[in-house]
Amino acid sequence: MKHSRLFSTSSRSVLLGLAVLIGGLLTGGAAQAQLLPIEQLGKSIFFDQDLSINRNQSCASCHDPAWGFTGPIESINAAGSVYEGSIPGRFGNRKPPSSAYASRSPILFFIDEKDNNENKTEILFIGGNFWDGRATGEKLGNPAADQAQGPFLNPVEQALPDNACVVHRVCTASYPTNYQDVFGPDDCDIVWPQDIETVCATPGTTVALSEEDRGSVDTAYNSIALAIGRYEDSTEVTAFSSKYDAYLRGEVKLTKQERQGLALFRGKGRCDNCHILDEGPGGEPPLLTDNTYDNLGVPRNPDNPWYTSSFNPDGADWVDAGLGGFLNTRPEYAEFAAENYGKQRVPTLRNVAASPVPGADKAFAHNGYFKSLETIVHFYNTRDLKPACPDPLTPEAAALQADCWPAPEVEDNVNTEELGNLHMTDAQEKAIVAFLATLSDGYTP
Ligand code: HEC
Ligand code: HEC
């Protein structure tokens, strides 16, 4: 049922309060305000390749602004869709979602929602970052800040062995705005060991520090994550400057096809059940996500290099458990794990069409199974209409050719109420795609 998924007004205001608290300028305007010092610091950190073990990878390597803050390597997008870390040959297991707008997700919480169709209550998890919600926001008060502490130390990403390595490199960097300019000199007043460069270039090591200096490192590491979160929340990243925003402000008209797509997005396509289109109660621009979790029945991506990674103990049997996998790691949530098995976070659709060259290879959904907006929309429309491909490991191009869809990666909890057979024509699918293209930031009339 339309909007049955929407969280209550009270939880909505929690979300909005939070967004204001973390410094979100809830501006509807497209104006590119100058960055605050803390945002500028976060930006320098976001783009600094020195903050990886081989000094060859930054956050932007997997979250490139020109690509809507997602992965820019076409050969990867066209195949396995997961990115290699600083250490060659080490791949992650999921496609990078956009890092823009992620700071507007609330701290993970849940509500009881009445399902009137089935006359039962359902527990609905809302918020957090990552496809599975494990960056909850509980630590630093914002999921995007919690998230930012992960990649630097993740052995399949930037792979630094110790958070002290990140702090050392940030404290000794010369950025336009330095750490000390924003947070003062004390946190960086640390006695670093002579061999710190060698230690930080060696996986699995720890930097030797006094207890007091270790405390300063942990404080600085939190501040670094908060600065990144503030940059991600700034008007440069979470910009609300798309054609659709200009349309909402009455500054521009949509084309006939875009208008048709918008109507289908709300109507027959039911897209805005989850990718919310409406402005917030105070006129806040829409995020195009309700930050809930769902299993769309996306097939496995047979090209995912994780299946053969030495970091993956399950080999080819690995299944992406999504939110359920994370809930299972938390005793207070474990009872809800089974009903959330295979559910992934609803991503924002802002910038989903952004790429520097028209027609460039992109990838969509948590495992990048889909290679174009056309095909993911076609999947929503026809998932339950077409026969199952005989081989569950059929890649997208072959499935389209054989006019079938492979079995879902996770059979449990597949949403059959809101998608699967939408009775849309080819022209209607195309209109939705045309509308999605109005969601890219940086629009000028
Ligand atoms: C090697 C590629 C890679 C690098 C480097 C990387 N990321 Fe990511 N990022 C990913 C992937 C993959 C995910 C999704 C992982 C998951 O859900 O388990 C992700 C998720 C995110 C998200 C969550 C978005 C959402 O809506 O849930 C944010 C925000 C983010 N990254 C920001 C950063 C920042 C900040 C850095 C640098 C400190 C960074 N990333 C470095 C690949 C990367
Ligand atoms: C029931 C909630 C729901 C509905 C309805 C829904 N979506 Fe989604 N959407 C999701 C979830 C959840 C994902 C991530 C799924 C995954 O990765 O397994 C997603 C992913 C996407 C993506 C990929 C984005 C990315 O960054 O990879 C696109 C594009 C998209 N949806 C467009 C649409 C369109 C267009 C419609 C309407 C035809 C629609 N969605 C309807 C929940 C929904």
**Residue among 3, 94, 349, 396 whose CB has most ligand 2 atoms within 8 A, to mutate:** 349
pLDDT in tens, 11-40: 333 333 344 333 333 333 334 569 999 999
Task: Look at the alpha carbons of 423, 289, 339, 135 in this order and tell me if their dihedral is positive or negative.
Answer: positive
**What is the CA(366)–ligand 2 centre distance, in A?**
10
In this structure, of 82-96, 108-122, 347-361, the range with the lowest mean pLDDT score is: 108-122
Pocket residues for ligand 2 (CB within 6 Å)? 97, 269-271, 273-275, 294, 296, 298, 344, 346-347, 349, 352, 364-366, 373, 376-377, 380, 415, 418-419, 432
Please report which confidence band the pLDDT of residue 206 belongs to, taking 50, 70 and 90 as the band edges. very high
Distance between CA 276 and CA 257 in Å, rounded?
A: 20
Could you give the C-alpha distances from 368 to 37, 263, 303, 394, 438, in angstroms and in order? 36, 27, 10, 13, 22
User: Which residue's structure tokens are 């497209």?
Assistant: 30
**Residue among 95, 275, 439 whose CB has most ligand 2 atoms within 8 A, to mutate:** 275
Atom of ligand 2 nearest to the CA of 409: 18
Ligand nearest to the CA of 428: 2
Q: Which amino acid is at 46?
A: F
Contact 422, 381 (CB under 8 A): yes
Give the percent of the chain with pLDDT over 70. Answer: 92
Contact 171, 188 (CB under 8 A): yes
**What is the CA(147)–ligand 1 centre distance, in A?**
7
- The distance in angstroms from the start CA to the end CA of the chain is 36
**Residue among 83, 293, 346, 415 whose CB has most ligand 2 atoms within 8 A, to mutate:** 346
As given in the structure block, the two tokens for residue 137 are: 């926001």
pLDDT in tens, 378-402: 999 999 999 999 999 999 999 999 9
